[in-house]
């Protein structure tokens, strides 16, 4: 006992559960007439957004949704999806944002695993939902989003979303903040490239903390105009669904990631911030010249979800974007580390700066700790930029666990750290650099080869648009690097040997791909290159 432990207890005045739900009320109080949401010709302010969300929550409640229920949403970045991030958890229910590129069996698996009570679905995805619904093993209410900007499509439920909102009360008060900040708020399924997808559960505290961490790291403020180039279903838009509201910024919705839409929107709405996987940045870089309309402001662009090749960072900066590199996983509410800028990098040439920026960096100020360690001994590797270990993190922005999957949760949390499954090194300055996912590392003649490092060089080849490197079994070396390459549309004749020669000039001999295959690359639903498909292809090459 010391004097600070006496008579200084928690009470309702000095302690409240942390939740992103308070951000909307705050924005509506402080900026009631500021534009909250833009969607095509439609826009509305924070007072209106709050009213819509209250209608939404009360209409859900009238349908029997209550604490511990799941509400699934299958929609692109439209207002209803954003509003669901507030309306669903207001009832203590859990939001399950579905990846709209999944197939019907996977959607059915998720709706059953999550026991979703309500499904709100954009008519664009009616064909896949129609196929999935007969396989749902419990009653589910379906509401359709009929969006004027969408392609139309069949309505599967008995009501459309706007009519559903009409059922609700804009002054709805019969809801509460969570009793406990540990209460579940969101359920996001991992892509499930190995077996069934796992349901990652978030709590209110983690979403609150990561939303603020993101606002801080990315420099959001009340003047920010955030363009939704990142799917909201992906880790709840890396928690920017809450983060942008927290600062009273403007959400600009966008159904499709299309450079022909994005460039004019940057100018028209004076967009200040956007996020996207490196593949999205690459689409902007390689958009036809006629599409690349100019804009006056600097657009802050956060990229992550896969390693951004330094050449991509360089090309974006040349076009007037300022790139911030983030790293994270579904299990860490999206971004968990960022490549924090150091003042002395200002003096570097762009290419060199981009090399620094391509590192995954340091933990968010809102994360507690990280280490790069041997997963067997849990001993941290030296900060020498060379010794490879697994990146592990701990803190309040790590998931609660996987839904109904205690074994997988126990594995992920072994030894009191969250195991990311990513292999990397720690540099002498403390910055982490990811070299590969554990299963992607190439071991050739006993030497580790980072596929990301080889890819980074390939992206510098003047004729290469995209590249992915995987292991190919080899009798002599065990494995050798095999490069799959997509050339730029205007590339001339490029041979595999010329690509190898380019690599030889830019990397150690043993890392140079022994095989180069040209053609389009298979991608996941979130635009990541599917290395497992390429590995299979590499195995069956003659």
List of residues contacting ligand ADP (CB under 6 A): 190-191, 304-307, 325, 327-330, 360, 420-422, 434, 437, 528
**Cβ 347 to ligand ADP, closest distance in Å?**
25
For residues 389 and 381, the answer to whether their CB atoms sit within 8 Å is yes
For residues 175 and 57, the answer to whether their CB atoms sit within 8 Å is yes
**Given the complex with ligand ADP, which of 129 and 235 has the nearer CB atom?**
235
Distance CA 122, CA 354 (A): 39
Q: What distances in angstroms separate CA 378 from CA 14, 140, 391, 444, 505, one per listed residue?
A: 38, 45, 11, 25, 37
**Cβ 358 to ligand ADP, closest distance in Å?**
8
**Given the complex with ligand ADP, which of 215 and 230 has the nearer CB atom?**
230
**Cβ 26 to ligand ADP, closest distance in Å?**
29
**Cβ 468 to ligand ADP, closest distance in Å?**
13
The closest alpha carbon to 516, from 478, 461, 476, belongs to 461
**Given the complex with ligand ADP, which of 434 and 482 has the nearer CB atom?**
434
Distance CA 122, CA 168 (A): 20
**Given the complex with ligand ADP, which of 155 and 190 has the nearer CB atom?**
190
**Given the complex with ligand ADP, which of 177 and 201 has the nearer CB atom?**
201
Joined together, the tokens standing for residue 249 give 């910024």
36 Cβ contact list (under 8 Å, min separation 6): 27, 44, 45, 46, 48, 49, 245, 250, 251
For residues 230 and 238, the answer to whether their CB atoms sit within 8 Å is yes
- DSSP code for 153: -
**Cβ 531 to ligand ADP, closest distance in Å?**
10
**Given the complex with ligand ADP, which of 242 and 327 has the nearer CB atom?**
327
**Cβ 457 to ligand ADP, closest distance in Å?**
16
**Given the complex with ligand ADP, which of 129 and 306 has the nearer CB atom?**
306
Give the CB-nearest residue to ligand ADP: 191
The b/e string for 408-447 (b: 16+ C-beta within 10 A; e otherwise) is: bbeebbeeebbbbbbbbbbbeeebbbbbbeeebbbebeee
**Given the complex with ligand ADP, which of 87 and 329 has the nearer CB atom?**
329
**Cβ 419 to ligand ADP, closest distance in Å?**
10
For residues 336 and 179, the answer to whether their CB atoms sit within 8 Å is no
The closest alpha carbon to 509, from 500, 517, 519, belongs to 500
**Cβ 402 to ligand ADP, closest distance in Å?**
12
Distance CA 4, CA 104 (A): 57
- DSSP code for 307: P
């Amino acid at each position: 006992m010391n004097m600070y432990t006496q008579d200084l207890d928690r009470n309702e005045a000095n302690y409240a559960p942390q939740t992103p739900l308070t951000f909307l009320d705050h924005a509506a109080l402080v900026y009631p007439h500021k534009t909250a949401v833009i969607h095509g010709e439609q826009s509305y302010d924070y007072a209106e957004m709050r009213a819509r969300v209250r209608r939404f929550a009360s209409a859900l409640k009238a349908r029997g949704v209550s604490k511990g229920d799941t509400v699934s949403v299958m929609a692109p970045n439209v207002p209803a999806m954003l509003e669901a991030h507030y309306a669903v958890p207001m009832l203590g229910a859990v939001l399950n944002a579905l990846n709209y590129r999944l197939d019907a069996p996977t959607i059915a698996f998720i709706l059953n695993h999550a026991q979703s009570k309500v499904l709100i679905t954009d008519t664009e995805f009616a064909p896949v939902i129609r196929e999935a619904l007969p396989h749902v093993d419990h009653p589910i209410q379906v509401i359709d989003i009929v969006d004027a900007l969408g392609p139309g499509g069949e309505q599967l439920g008995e009501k459309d979303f706007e009519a559903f909102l009409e059922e609700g009360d804009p002054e709805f008060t019969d809801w509460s903040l969570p009793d406990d900040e540990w209460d579940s708020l969101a359920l996001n399924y991992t892509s499930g490239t190995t077996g069934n997808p796992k349901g990652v559960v978030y709590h209110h505290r983690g979403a609150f903390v990561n939303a603020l961490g993101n606002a801080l790291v990315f420099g959001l403020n009340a003047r920010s105009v955030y363009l939704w180039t990142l799917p909201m279903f992906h880790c709840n838009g890396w928690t920017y669904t809450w983060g942008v509201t927290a600062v009273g910024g403007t959400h600009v919705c966008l159904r499709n990631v299309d450079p022909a839409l994005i460039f004019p929107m940057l100018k028209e709405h004076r967009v200040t911030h956007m996020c996207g996987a490196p593949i999205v940045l690459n689409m902007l870089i390689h958009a036809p010249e006629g599409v690349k309309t100019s804009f006056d402001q600097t657009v802050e662009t956060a990229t992550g979800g896969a390693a951004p090749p330094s050449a991509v960072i360089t090309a974006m900066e040349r076009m007037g974007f300022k790139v911030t590199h983030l790293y994270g996983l579904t299990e860490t509410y999206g971004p968990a580390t960022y490549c924090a800028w150091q003042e002395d990098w200002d003096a570097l040439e762009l290419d060199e700066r981009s090399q620094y920026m391509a590192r995954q960096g340091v933990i968010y100020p809102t994360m507690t700790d990280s280490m790069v360690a041997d997963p067997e001994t849990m001993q941290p590797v030296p900060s020498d930029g060379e010794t490879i270990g697994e990146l592990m993190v701990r803190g309040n922005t790590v998931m609660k666990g996987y839904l109904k999957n205690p074994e997988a949760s126990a594995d992920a949390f072994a030894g009191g750290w969250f195991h990311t499954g990513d292999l990397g090194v720690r540099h002498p300055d403390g910055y982490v650099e990811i070299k590969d996912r554990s299963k992607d590392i190439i071991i050739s003649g006993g030497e580790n080869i980072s596929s990301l490092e080889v890819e980074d060089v390939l992206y510098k080849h003047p004729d290469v648009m995209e590249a992915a490197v995987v292991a190919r079994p080899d009798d002599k070396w065990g494995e050798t690097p095999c490069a799959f390459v997509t050339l730029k549309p205007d590339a001339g004749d490029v041979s595999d040997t010329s690509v190898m020669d380019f690599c030889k000039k830019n990397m150690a001999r043993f890392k140079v791909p022994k095989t180069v295959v040209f053609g389009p690359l298979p991608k996941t639903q979130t635009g990541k290159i599917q290395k497992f498909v390429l590995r299979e292809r590499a195995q069956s090459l003659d």
